[in-house]
Structure 1
Amino acid sequence: MRRVRVGPSRALRNGSTERGSQRIAQKGMAVPILAAIPELWPEGVLDETDPPSRCLTQWVALRVQPRCKKAVARVLMRDDFAYFLCLRSVTRVYQRRRVVSQVPLFPGYVFAAGENQELLEQLWQVRHVSCVLTPPDPAKFLRELTSLRRILSAGVPVTPEEQLQPGQRARIIRGCFEGLEGTVLINRSGLRLMIAVGLLGRGASIEVTPDMVERL
């Protein structure tokens, strides 16, 4: 007589699967899920039209360790510092699906501000911060960050510029970026206006047309 090997019953298989799922769930519960943090805090701190009541004009650039920008931002928020992560939207295609993600415009840098110089000196003690860069011209640096915030929040394609290049200074005279100043660049994609961050030696550019800009 041939013996037929019978597998476990459906109830047993389901029970085993449920127990396995419970173990996985229990393991998953042991890992804390951190809440999402805003790109800019407090909201409106770099808004030209409606800035917050707090005086936060002294901005610096923090050089942080890889993959630690959000961890540093959480510490800054907890300790009552303002910060700007400076993220841009990037669209990629995964399995025929378009996915929009937020990536750093300047990898490895977080911009922070405090109400006074004594508070800013505490930034050296923040974990994962390897260097604090203080701009020689705080007012100019603030204008650069405000311009970056303006183009990043508009939802237009923004291209990072790794090295500053000489060019004609110009101002946008029409459109949603009217009044924005920068350096004119010409490349394969056409005419672009670059917003430079002199402290980092980098910048970001947006596409413009000749009728949108005037020389300074």
Structure 2
Amino acid sequence: MNPIRDEAIPDLAIPPPGKAWVVLHVRPRCEKKLEAFCQRSGLPAYLPLRRKVHRYGVRERAFWSPLFPGYLFCVSTAPGRSTLRQNRYVANLLEVLDQARLVGQLLHIRQALAVDDMVEVMPYLAAGRRVQVTAGPFKGLEGIVQRIKGRTKVVLNVDMIQQAVIVEVDSTCLAPA
């Protein structure tokens, strides 16, 4: 079962007053444990996962790993943030100043993962031309266009954690944003 399409994914929207999205910087290899803790505690959390395949000779093993290792996105109240800071899996808690921007970027990432769960992660790119995809499965997404190995790719940035996801798009489906 693809966890990206699971119905348990929280509503990625701007939370009501008194609640806010926070980015949890997580201790190594504790992302899924912290997500389970958040679910048990009634805190909506979003952990983007991607499918990876390891080959061992002739055999293959597919598994789901965090798209952004070391980060979990969570909606919390002020007292909830205090509880999260005390959790042994949390290394740091990053407050999100621009809630709308983070939600928009997470929606773009979720849409890209719904189409292709084998996306590539690459370093954050601040430079480049901002574009919008006008057709195809990624229609409506905004990102930065890059040419990599002669192919057109769009980089979807998550500014808050300085990470990015890259998807391949036909250059005829792009327009300046």
1:63 aligns with 2:25: yes
Q: Which residue of 2 aligns with 1:214?
A: 175
- Tell me which residue corresponds to 1:102: 64
The residue identity in structure 1 corresponding to 2:30 is C
Does structure 1 retain, via aligned residues, the 8 Å contact 2:23–2:71? yes
Task: State the partner residue of 2:8.
Answer: 43
Q: What TM-score does the superposition give when structure 2 sets the normalisation length? A: 0.86
Q: Does the 8 Å CA contact 1:61/1:133 hold for their aligned counterparts?
A: yes
Question: In the TM superposition, what whole-angstrom CA distance separates every residue of 1:25-48 from its partner, at most 9, and x where no partner exists?
Answer: xxxxxxxxxxxxx5698724246x
After TM superposition, where is structure 1 displaced by more than 3 Å over at least 4 residues in a row?
38-42, 54-57
Partner of 1:175: 136
> Once the 2 structures are TM-superposed, how far is the Cα of residue 117 of structure 1 from its aligned partner?
3.5
- Give the deviation of 1:158 after TM superposition: 0.9
Cα RMSD (Å): 2.4
Distance 1:117 1:95 in 2: 50
Higher relative contact order (CA 8 A, sep 6+): 2
| Distance (Å, rounded) in 2 between the aligned partners of 1:39 and 1:110 | 14
Which is further off, 154-163 or 198-207? Answer: 154-163
Contact 1:41–1:82 at 8 Å: present in 2 too?
Answer: no
| Aligned partners of 2:44 and 2:74 also within 8 Å | yes
Instruction: State how far apart, in whole Å, the 2-side matches of 1:161 and 1:109 are.
Output: 15
- Matched residues, number: 173
The residue aligned with 2:86 is 125
Check the 8 A contact 1:40/1:85 in 2, yes or no: no
Secondary structure of 1:43's partner?
A: coil
State whether structure 2 residue 110 is matched by structure 1 residue 145: no
Q: So what's the TM-score if we normalise by structure 1? A: 0.71
Give the Å deviation of 1:190.
1.2
Distance 1:40 1:75 in 2: 21
In structure 2, the residue matched to 1:188 is 149
The SS at the match of 1:199 is helix
Change (3 A) 1:85 1:40: farther
For residue 210 of structure 1, what is the amino acid of its counterpart? S
In structure 2, stretches of 5+ residues that fail to align are: none
1:87 and 1:105 in contact (8 A); partners too: yes
d(CA) in 2 for partners of 1:82 and 1:39? 15
Give the gaps of 5 or more residues in structure 1. Answer: 1-37
Query: How much has 1:92 moved relative to structure 2?
Result: 2.8
Q: What secondary structure does 1:121 align onto?
A: helix
Establish whether residue 134 from structure 1 lines up as the match of residue 95 from structure 2: yes
CA distance 1:45–1:135, change in 2 (3 Å): same
Q: Which moved more, 1:120-129 or 1:78-87?
A: 120-129
Per residue, is there more strand in 1 or in 2?
Answer: 2
Q: How far does residue 69 in structure 1 lie from its aligned partner after superposition?
A: 1.4
